[in-house]
Structure 1
Amino acid sequence: MTEEFLYYIWQYKLFLKNDLYTTENQEIVILKSGIHNNNSGPDFLNSQLKIEDQLWIGNVEMHIKSSDWYLHNHEEDPNFDAVILHVVWEHDATIFMKNNQPLPTFEIKNFVDEKLLGNYNRLIYSKQNWIPCGKQIYNMPNFLIDNWLERLYFERLEQKSVFIKELLAHTNQDFEAVLFQLLAKNFGLKVNGDSFLQLAKSIDFMVIRKERFDQQKLTALLFGQAGFFEDDIQNEYFSLLKSEYKYLKHKYNLQAISKNNFQFFRMRPQNFPTIRIAQLAALFFTHQNLFSKLINISKKEDVYKLFSFEIQGFWKTHYTFESESKKSAKKLSKSFIDLLLINTIVPLKFVYLQSRGEVDQEAILELIKQISSEKNSIIDQFLKLKIKSKNALESQALLELKNNYCTKKRCLQCAIGNNLLRK
């Protein structure tokens, strides 16, 4: 038994009957359950009850056992002086208030349907399923799943917004600068994402604004700040960029990070940090007003066109500065651009519109639904449970469901869990 289950029963009044009584056999009528308190203090605030014929307005505290009141030292905390009812699963001790009167206690286990309790135990204490409802989720109504996934997607967007707003706070609300930082992070993918973000943060975006009209200077700036000119490599292009960076470093009083931050091991050549840095420089050289273009886009095909540039010259025949390779195009794949849409463009657009009070949820949903579903182990496991992800909205929502609900056994806060509990 958990206190969360007690909160759930109380909040939704899931009692076997309407005739409720305290341990002292006093009739209880719940007029208002109160507001669930997630902070310190009593569990429900501003509850309204009738105990016998007396109307009470105050707070409700809940415990597994009555004696937990003393175990948690509530008798010493003035925040609990306004408690009007103690709701417990098991009544094992009488609690006295400061006026030496016993605190009215409601032993809830006598009023809970055994089927509800059985459903709860099967969900919460199941150890054989990948997710608690693994054997039942495929039987859920489609409309329930669809509505819940949409809500979960926006929960995930809100979580991503927290990080974006932190970046905005450190850039004086400069959305262009934050776009550069977020794109850099995602160009680095999981392995090098943090290092790419560190690289982007090492350059005041004012410098990017000034130098983005010259691709050679912009490329030298990014590679130099990433520490790649610590080496001494004998080729003309490397020497040219190194010389260019030496001038820029002095001009802007820059401090580079270390090349050792970037990983090449076990990475596909297309994802080498050198290629991604060159592509990032080419992107911001090609599109001088990238942020305004992205904010006004509503179709993924338009994003594909925007990111259809190709790095030229030296990088056509190289993956690193050291060795030459077979000539090949170094374009961004559609699957890579999809990741940028999912993790940078849509979340940043959401925060931008939110800051202007112009959020159009339907437009956000329409855009994210155009993107193909992600492929990973979590999405594969849901497919085995007959839950198919049709687009990026659903794959993002399923990740949110697994990581923030199923793994944490938050079935009581889940629409699917609620449906199963009340069957």
Structure 2
Amino acid sequence: MNEDFLHYIWKYKKFQITQLKTIQGLPVIISSVGTHNFNSGPDFFNAKLKIDEQVWAGNVEVHVKSSDWYVHNHEQDPVYDNVILHVVWEHDTDIFRKDNTCIPTMQLRNYVSPEMINKYQALFLKQKHWIKCENDFSAIDDFIVENWLERLFFERLERKSKTITQLLEASKNDWEAVLFQMLAMNFGLKVNGEAFMSLGQSVDFSVVRKTLSHQNTLEALLFGQAGLLENQVEDAYHVNLVREYQFLKQKFNLENQHVLPVQFFRLRPLNFPTIRLSQLASLYHKHQNLFSKVMASSSLNEFYEIFRVETSDYWKTHYMFQKASQPSAKALSAGFINLLLINTILPIKFLYAKHCGDENASKIMVMAYQIPSEQNSIIKAFNSLKSVSKSALDSQALIQLKTEYCDKHLCLKCAVGYQLLSK
């Protein structure tokens, strides 16, 4: 038995609610179970109960055992002074307030059916499953799943917004600078994401603005800050970048000792940091008012047009300095653009809309539904249980479901778990 299950039983009244009595034999009538508190303090605020002939308004605390009150040191915490009922699974000791009056206690196990306990154990106490409800997931009604995924999608947006908010605070609300930093991080993907983010934070965006009109100069800035110009290379393009970067470094007093080293190991050539940095430079050279264009766009085709960029000419015949390769136009693929939209553009548009007082999230949802679903191990596993992920909204929501609910065994806070337990 655990407290999450007891919270669920109390919150949704999954017990016999008539003829309730406290351990002391006093009748209990529930008018309101209260509001579930997920922070510190009593578990349910503002409950309304009638105990014996007295009507009470106050808080309810839930424990597996009565003695947990003392294990958690609630007797020393004044926020628990207004607890009007102690709900426990097993009563093993009386609980007293500071004034030595006994807190009424109700033993919940007396009023929960064996069927409910068996159902809980069958669904949520499984150990060797990818997710605990994998044998039952396909049976959940599509309407319930779709609504739950929409909520999870916005939970994930809110989580990503925290990073953006921190960047905004550090940049004094420079949205263009934050867009650059977020794009840099996601151009680096998983392997070089942190390194590219540290690069984006190593230079004031005003310096980036001053180099946008010349792609070669912007490439010199990015390659130099990334530490890719430190080796001597007999290559005219490399020599030119070094010259440009040395000028920029002196002019703008640039430092890059805190920039994390980029990695080439185990990357496909198209994901080499040299290629991605050149593409990032091309993007900002092509759109010198990128933030305004991104905020004004709403359709997938508009974004594809904005991000339809490729490397500079040198990188069409190279993946690394000095080593020539077969000529190829190394443009951003639709799949890569989709990742940028999911991980950068949608979270920034979501937060910027809230910043501007627009709480209508329907535009973000429409955009997320336009983007194809991601394909990764989590999405493939869910689709094997039930064909559920058809768009980026679905795939982002399923990632949120797996990482924040399934992996943490928060089945009782999940709409799927609630539906299964309520059958």
Normalising to structure 2: TM-score of the pair?
Answer: 0.97
SS at match of 1:261: coil
- In the other structure, the counterpart of 1:16 is 16
The CA distance in 2 between the partners of 1:110 and 1:26, in whole Å, is 14
Q: CA deviation digits over 1:150-175, x for unaligned, max 9? A: 11111111111111111111111111
Instruction: Evaluate the alpha carbon distance shift between residue 20 and residue 295 of structure 1 in structure 2; reply closer, same or farther with a 3 A threshold.
Output: same
Partner AA of 2:160 in structure 1: K
The answer on whether the counterparts of 2:199 and 2:259 sit within 8 Å (CA) in structure 1 is no
Match of 1:269 in 2: 269
2:278 matched to which residue of 1?
Answer: 278
Matches of 1:86 and 1:258 in 2, distance apart? 54
Identical residues among aligned pairs (%): 51
SS at match of 1:368: helix
Q: CA deviation at 1:78?
A: 2.2
CA distance in 2 between partners of 1:234 and 1:323 (Å): 11
What is the one-letter code of the residue matched to 2:104?
P
Counting only pairs closer than 5 Å after superposition, residues 101-250 of structure 1 correspond to structure 2 as: 101-250=101-250
1:59 corresponds in structure 2 to 59
Cα distance between partner residues in 2 of 1:55 and 1:67:
26
Q: How far apart are residue 260 of structure 1 and its match? A: 7.0
C-alpha deviation, 1:409, in angstroms: 1.2
Q: Structure 1 pair 288/362, CA: closer, same or farther in 2 (3 Å)?
A: same
Q: Which segment is superposed worse, 237-246 or 111-120? A: 111-120
* Unaligned stretches of 5+ residues in structure 2: none
Which secondary structure state, in structure 2, belongs to the residue aligned with residue 238 of structure 1? helix
* Structure 2 residue 335 is the aligned partner of structure 1 residue 335: yes
Indicate the SS of the match to 1:39: coil
Question: 2 CA distance for matches of 1:41 and 1:148?
Answer: 28
1:410: which partner in 2?
410
Q: How far apart are the structure 2 equivalents of 1:151 and 1:39? A: 20
* Cα distance in 1 between the residues matched to 2:373 and 2:45: 42
Runs (5+) with no aligned partner, structure 1: none
Shift of 1:32: 2.0
Give the whole-Å Cα distance in 2 for the aligned partners of 1:105 and 1:263. 61
Q: Does 1:89 align with 2:99?
A: no
Hey, what's the Cα distance between the residues in 2 that align with 1:193 and 1:120?
41
TM-superposed CA distance for 1:16, in Å, is 2.0
The change in CA–CA distance for 1:243 and 1:133 in structure 2 (over 3 A counts) is same
How far residue 214 of structure 1 moved from its aligned partner, in angstroms, is 1.3
Counterpart-to-counterpart distance in 1, 2:50 and 2:34: 13
Change (3 A) 1:374 1:254: same
Aligned partners of 2:282 and 2:312 also within 8 Å:
no
Looking at structure 2, the residues matched to 248 and 96 of structure 1 have their Cα atoms a distance apart, in angstroms, of 71
Q: Does residue 372 of structure 2 align to residue 372 of structure 1? A: yes
CA-atom RMSD in angstroms: 1.4
TM-fit CA distance, 1:258: 7.4
Q: Using the TM superposition, give the Cα deviation of residue 45 of structure 1 relative to its aligned residue in structure 2, in angstroms.
A: 2.1
Q: 1:313 to 1:96 in 2, by over 3 A?
A: closer
Conserved 8 A contact 1:16-1:112: yes
Q: What SS is found at the alignment partner of 2:16?
A: coil
1:15-54 counterparts in 2 under 5 A?
15-54=15-54
2-structure distance, mates of 1:364, 1:329? 32
Q: Is the 8 A contact 2:181 2:197 kept in 1?
A: yes
Length-normalised TM-score, structure 1: 0.97
Letter in 2 for 1:216: N
Aligned equivalent of 2:387? 387
Kept in 1: contact 2:164–2:178 (CA 8 A): yes
Deviation of 1:40 (Å): 2.5
- Whole-Å separation in 2 of the counterparts to 1:174 and 1:193: 21
C-alpha distance in structure 1 between counterparts of 2:260 and 2:37, whole Å: 48
**SS in structure 2 opposite 1:96?**
coil
Question: Could you tell which deviates more after superposition, 352-361 or 217-226?
Answer: 352-361
**How many pairs align?**
423
Partner of 1:254: 254
SS at match of 1:177: helix
The separation in 1 between residues aligned to 2:36 and 2:258, in whole angstroms, is 49
Rounded Cα–Cα distance in structure 1 between residues aligned with 2:144 and 2:255: 53
Aligned AA for 2:302? D
> 371-380 vs 4-13, which deviates more?
4-13
1:300 partner amino acid: L
Report the Cα distance in structure 1 between the residues aligned to 2:288 and 2:340, rounded to whole angstroms: 18
* Distance of 1:289 and 1:388 partners within structure 2: 38
The within-5 A match list for 1:315-330 is 315-330=315-330
CA distance in 1, matches of 2:81, 2:370: 55
1:173-215 Cα offsets, whole Å, 9 max, x none, are: 1111111001100100000000000001001001011111111
2:229 aligns to what SS in structure 1? helix
Q: Which amino acid aligns with 1:234?
A: E
Output the CA distance in 1 between the equivalents of 2:17 and 2:86. 19
Q: Distance in 1 between matches of 2:33 and 2:194?
A: 46
Relative to structure 1, is the Cα distance of residues 12 and 258 closer, same or farther in structure 2, using a 3 angstrom cutoff?
A: closer
Query: Quick one: distance in 1 between partners of 2:179 and 2:259?
Result: 23
Q: Which amino acid aligns with 2:216?
A: Q
- 3-state DSSP class of the match of 1:389? coil
Q: How big is the shift at 1:62?
A: 1.5
1:292 is displaced (CA, Å) by: 0.9
